[in-house]
Each structure stands twice: as C-alpha cells, then as structure tokens.
Copies of this chain bind each other. A is one copy, B any other.
Amino acid sequence: MNFLEERIVKDGVVKPGNVLKVDSFLNHQMDIHLMDEMGKEFKRRFADKNITKILTIEASGIAIAIAAARYFDVPVVFAKKSKSINLDGDVYVATVESFTHKNTNQVVVSKKFLSAEDHVLIIDDFLANGCALQGLISITESSGATVEGIGIAIEKGFQVGGKVIRNLGYHLESLAIVESMDDEKGTVQFREQE
C-alpha cells in the first residue's frame, strides 16, 4: 500500500451505499503533510510532462492543486460552480451533473486563464462517475489547450468514470483506486498499482 492507501485504511470510514468518508484528512479537514506528499507524488508520476497550468474545481480540489503547484511551479486555475445561466461570453462553460447533490451545475473558467499554448494537468480529489472531470476536460479542450494528464487522489474503481477517461486515451493517475468496500466490516480493497 502507498501512503494514501494506508491513510484511507487508517482514517477513512466506509458507509452504506459505497460511501467512503475521508473528511478528516482530505476534503473537509485537510492534513497539510498528506497534501504535500500527494503533490510530490503527482510530480513524480507526471515528471516527463511539461505542465504550464493546473486546473481543478472548487472546493476540495483546490487544496491538492495548490500542493501540487509548488512541485510543478505553475499557476492553479479553479473552475467555479455556478447556478446562474446568466454568464457573459468571456468564460468556458461545461454542464456537470452531481449525483451526490442530485442537481446540475454550470462549471465555468474565465477565457483569460486558459489558452491554446497551455499544457494542463487536471487535479481533483475524487473520481467516481466522472462527470466533474469530463467537464474539466471539455473546458480545457474548448480553450485549445492540451490535457497532458489527470491526477486524482481517490478513484472509485468500481464506478465507470476512470475506465471511460482511460478509454478516451487520457493519461489518468489515481493515487488510490478503490476496488470494493464493505461497510459492515469497514474494509477497503485497492487495485494493485506498480
């Protein structure tokens, strides 16, 4: 097990309905040492890529993106969630469905901050069905920038998101891929990664 898998086993809580709570260290309270270690690991996994910008989405992706940005030495742009349709023409927009909140958000990035010259690393905390990630990819492609890679903290390997993204040919790295969870025993199985 790597450092993140170990932390999930230690402090993650498995709830019924394939819910994995990691709010004590990843997405409500955030362990600054863990953030730093994740940033360093993303740099190792995307060491051969010439990244010019990190793109993430509010809110919990921001912490990991900022930690990673120190290692890549590039700016972070975060996509904003917006309920309003009333957007001016200066933004890239994607529509993202949230299964957790059972609603649909517009996700926007100002056109000023992504361009055809950019080589983008997309970072987020969770990947399950992949709707948010597809929105970030769509926004990046709209700008003419190149998606050089996608770094995820925790992927739910039993949901379809990761498979779809890999099938599309993107270089996706998830630090921990959960294959299955058992809420009665409180256990988590991870996919083997080299």
Contact = CB atoms under 8 A, between A and B. Distances in A.
Contacts of A112: 23-24, 29
Contacts of A29: 75-77, 110, 112-113
Contact of A32 (B25, B30, B75, B78): B75
Nearest to A36: B70
A84 to B, nearest CB: 9
A25 B31 CA distance: 25
Contact of A66 (B32, B58, B74): B32
A75 B75 CA distance: 23
Nearest to A33: B73
Interface in A1-54: 23-25, 28-32, 35-36
B62 A31 contact: no
19 contacts: A23-B110, A23-B112, A24-B112, A24-B113, A25-B75, A28-B109, A28-B110, A28-B113, A29-B76, A30-B75, A30-B78, A32-B66, A32-B70, A32-B73, A32-B76, A59-B59, A59-B78, A63-B63, A63-B66
Interface of A: 23-25, 28-32, 35-36, 58-60, 62-63, 66-67, 69-70, 73-78, 80, 109-110, 112-113
